[in-house]
Amino acid sequence: MDPWRHTLIHGIDFDDAAFYGALGFKCGLEIHQQLDTRKKLFCHCPVGYRNDAPDAVILRHMRPTLSEMGTYDGTALMEFKTHKQVIYHLYRDNVCTYEMDDTPPFPINQEALDDAIEIALMLNCKLVDEVHITRKQYLDGSIPTGFQRTAIIGVDGWIPYRDRRIEIQQLALEEDACREVDDKRHTVVFRTDRLSTPLVEIVTKPDMRTPHEAAEVDGLLGRLLRASGRVRRGLGSARQDVNVSITGSDRVEIKGVPRTPDIRALTHYEALRHKALLELRAELARRGITPANFPHRERDVTGMMAKTRNERLRKLREAGGRLRAVLLAGWGDTLAWKTQPGLTFADELGGRVRVIACLDEMPNLFVLDGRGTGVAVHEEAHVRKALGAAAGDAVVLTFGPAEDAQTAVNEILERARNALAGVPQETRQHLPDGCRTDFERILPGPDRMYPDTDSPPVPLARDRLAAIVAQQAKRPWEREELYRARGVPPSTARQLAIHRHARVFERLLDHTPTPACTTAVALADWDKALRRNLRREGKLLPLPAPETLETFLRLAAQRRTPCRALRLGLARLYETGAADPPPPLPDPELQALCETVVRESATAWWRTRTKTVDHLLGLAVERSAGRAEPATARRILERLVPPEPPAPVTAKSC
């Protein structure tokens, strides 16, 4: 682990109920999981990823629109302020005119709808009776239509956790967005391959009380999704957003947490950020600065900085850029107010400026506090004087192309004003250390939801639901309990509960005489080992389908294939695709084999007679490629092995 990250998380008890309870820590999850369908949600493109050069490139812009409640969404307006040019990379194989927003949607993918219903049922959700497809506006360009088509499938579900229930607010079926390739200044580039891949979004209530709980529940939901057998695996197929608030603060969403364990440190430090911002508000209030009393000034200081020694600013001036200074009266040193390790309130200002004014070369502002960071001390003094700054006033210098510099000033003032109210509702991105966060965008509200006039509502018929219920996957915790009760070792049970073979196992459980333990080990542990071996040997073979495995195991039960032969037969199945479990050796052959083994080992003796029989049994099993049925072979050997060691000479060998 890198040392910085180590210092950030070392020694913290992320499950300290007293500490987080005092903070009023609350955390909710939004889990996005792609479904394993063949086609996309609203068109017939195959699902798949591309990393090569695009086949075509198009350019678009986004504008906010009114919701059907007659209002504009705040995020939409913010995104509009950024004036982004959006570029899409297209691929002929898995992008069609639907993803390009050049054709209306096709009817919703019924396979995906069934999968989502099944997962909603697993989460104990109340299903809607008629699915309404809704547009969720995203003006960041991540979806060429400017909105994501999404639909609620179920609401008010729950899963058991510790001694209580974690409530599931809703489960929605929606199309995935584009992947961002690049975002510099006013141009953002997206790859469209992932666009419109079906996914379920699961939103929990803010029921997690410590960062550790948040991570555990995330893991639990992840296991439930895998147990459904309906989800896609691999990089980027699951992403989670984490919502955090503390007493007195509004909800902040940390977007796209890549790894479940990171949830702990990220939510911990986000909660501390909220605490710091609430303390900052109290401090500002103490100084008499409130939303009603927020004295500030701004001024273009481009001319004043004609001789600046800061090369970046000089070049910017030459290119026609502007330098603007903002004075926040009475704020004094509060711009250095610590929010997270190594970050201050000035970084909060910088984050807004970076995103909304598109001034993404950092630092994008300098705090003129007399320390001479960025510009020389005398230049600072000069600007401060020009703004009429008193000792207790804070001054920020920002710079960029004329229009962006103006946007930057507006955003600095906006963010400062937010600080007087507390913690602004934001979507934040995680920094690479997996512990701290930075501004991404303003948190969108319900005003960004619009009905999709292109898609008719889909009623969920009773018989359709009945069919789904009939073959619905068991929840992983139910499976684990069931498997363990049938004698499956706990670690195997845990693995198998979310394994793609779980359904095969359950079908075989009561319908073959093979012990549950053997079947479970074959389907989970051996499967894992065999796949690993094949991978190591560089053999990228298609894995046997669950149905083939089922046939194999049923045959094995019929033929009474001994355990060892089963494993070898399984290996052959993985390598050659032949589902042919070897039958046990017929009795005469087994008798002959045992006799041979005993004869050839006539001089061998292992401390006791029992151990000797064990050894000979091992030999017989190995020579028969596992086909020697151990119990019968043992009986035969018991009869063949003499009661006493044959000669004293070999006794030494023990």
Q: Report which residue type is found at 167.
A: E
Site residues (CB under 8 A) for another protein? 53-70, 76, 87, 92, 97, 100-104, 126-132, 134-137, 139, 144-147, 150-152, 155-156, 169-170, 172, 445-451, 453, 456-457, 459
CB of 496 to another protein, least distance (A): 32
C-alpha distances (whole Å) from 19 to each of 274, 435, 604 are 15, 18, 67
Residue 187's beta-bridge partner residues? Answer: 85, 184
With respect to another protein, which residue has the nearer C-beta, 127 or 313?
Answer: 127
Q: To the nearest whole angstrom, how small is the minimum distance from the Cβ of residue 50 to another protein?
A: 14
Residue with tokens 């369908």: 37
Peptide bond into 363 cis (omega under 30): yes
Contact call for residues 344 and 338 (beta carbons, < 8 A) = yes
Nearer residue to another protein within complex by CB, 188 or 617: 188
> How near is the Cβ of 449 to another protein at its closest, in Å?
3
Task: Mark residue 184 as left, alpha or beta (left: phi above 0; alpha: psi -120 to 50; beta: remaining).
Answer: beta
Q: How far is the CB of 215 from another protein (least distance, A)?
A: 25
Integer Cα distance of 617 and 561 in angstroms: 17
Given a contact cutoff of 8 angstroms between Cβ atoms, the answer to whether 135 and 91 are in contact is no
Cβ of residue 477: shortest distance to another protein, in angstroms? 23
Return the structure tokens found at 638: 């018991």
| CA angle, residues 452, 458, 460, in degrees to nearest 5 | 145
> What is the radius of gyration, based on Cα positions, of the chain?
33
String of DSSP letters for 432-497: TTSS-EEEEEEPP-GGGEEE-TTS--EE--HHHHHHHHHTPPPPHHHHHHHHHHTT--HHHHHHHH
> What's the min distance (Å) between Cβ of 106 and another protein?
12
d(CA 242, CA 341): 20
Minimum gap (Å) between residue 188 Cβ and another protein: 14
Neighbours of 623 (CB within 10 A): 15
Q: Cβ closer to another protein: 154 or 330?
A: 154
CB of 441 to another protein, least distance (A): 15
Judged by beta carbon, residue 98 or residue 269, the one nearer another protein is 98
Shorter beta-carbon distance to another protein: residue 126 or 312: 126
Nearer Cβ to another protein (52/510): 52
Q: Which is nearer to another protein, 58 or 534 (CB)?
A: 58
Least distance between another protein and beta carbon 465 (Å) = 11
Do residues 135 and 149 make contact, with C-beta atoms less than 8 angstroms apart? yes
Is the Cβ of residue 182 or residue 600 nearer to another protein in the bound state?
182
Rounded least distance, CB 468 to another protein, Å: 15
Q: Nearer Cβ to another protein, position 464 or 609?
A: 464
Crossing angle of the two packed helices 546-559 and 563-576, in degrees rounded to 10:
150
Which tokens hold the place of 170? 């809703």
Q: Which is nearer to another protein, 146 or 222 (CB)?
A: 146
Query: Which has the closest alpha carbon to 563: 548, 549, 553, 576?
Result: 553
Residue type, 477: W
DSSP state at residue 526: I
Q: Which is nearer to another protein, 130 or 537 (CB)?
A: 130
Tell me how far, at minimum, the Cβ of 168 lies from another protein, in Å. Answer: 13
Smaller CB distance to another protein: residue 21 or 457?
457
Q: How many CB atoms lie within 10 A of CB 246?
A: 23
In the bound complex, what is the minimum distance in angstroms from residue 61's beta carbon to another protein?
5
**Residues 6 or more apart in contact with residue 527 via CB below 8 angstroms:** 499, 501, 570
Residue 486, token pair as written in the block: 């049938």
Residue 261, both tokens: 């364990």
Q: What minimum distance in Å lies between the beta carbon of 155 and another protein?
A: 7
CA-CA distance, 300 to 316, in Å (whole number)? 14
Compute the distance between CA of residue 281 and CA of residue 422 in angstroms, rounded to an integer. 6
Cβ closer to another protein: 413 or 458?
458
Distance CA 460, CA 118 (A): 13
